[in-house]
Amino acid sequence: MTIEEIQNICQQLRGVTEDIKWENHLCFNVGGKMFLVTAPDSTPATASFKVPDEIFEEVAAKKGFSPAAYLARYKWVYVDNINRLNLEEWQAYIKQSYDLIFAKLPTKIRKEISLNN
C-alpha cells in the first residue's frame, strides 16, 4: 500500500477534505472532523484511525497496532506500517472510521455533505 492508494480510497467518500497538521501529518476529514491521520514522511509510513468501541481492544492488540497516542481514549488505533494491511482491509477500516465520524456530525452538516456530493 502507498499513501496515494490510501488517499484514493478517502477521496471516493462524500465530503472528504485533506489537510496537513502538526507539520507533517496528512489528515483526512469529513465535516471538519478527522477520521484518518497518516505520517507519509515516516519510514515506514504510519496511520491512525477510529474503530468501534467494541473492537478497539481486539484491533489494538494485533501485531503492529497499538492505541493511538493522544486519541486512544476516543478509540483510535495506530498502525506502525501501512503495508500491514491490504487494499481490502484499508477500504474497510477507512470506511468504518469515516462512518463513525460522519454519524457524530450535526444533522445539518450531514445533510449538506449528502446533498453536495
Express each pLDDT in 38-94 by its tens digit: 988 888 999 999 999 999 999 999 999 999 998 999 999 999 999 999 999 999 999
Domain for residue 54, yes or no? yes
Domain for residue 116, yes or no? no
Domain for residue 117, yes or no? no
Domain that holds residue 81: 3-110
**Nearest 5°: CA angle at 84, between 78 and 85?**
90
Cis, peptide link before residue 44, omega less than 30° from 0: yes
CATH of the domain at 63: 3.90.1150.30
Domain for residue 28, yes or no? yes
**What are 82-113's pLDDT values in tens digits?**
999 999 999 999 999 999 999 999 999 999 88
Domain for residue 115, yes or no? no
Based on the structure, what is the number of domains in the chain? Answer: 1
Alpha helices in the chain (DSSP H): 3-11, 56-60, 87-103, 107-116
Single pTM value for the model: 0.92
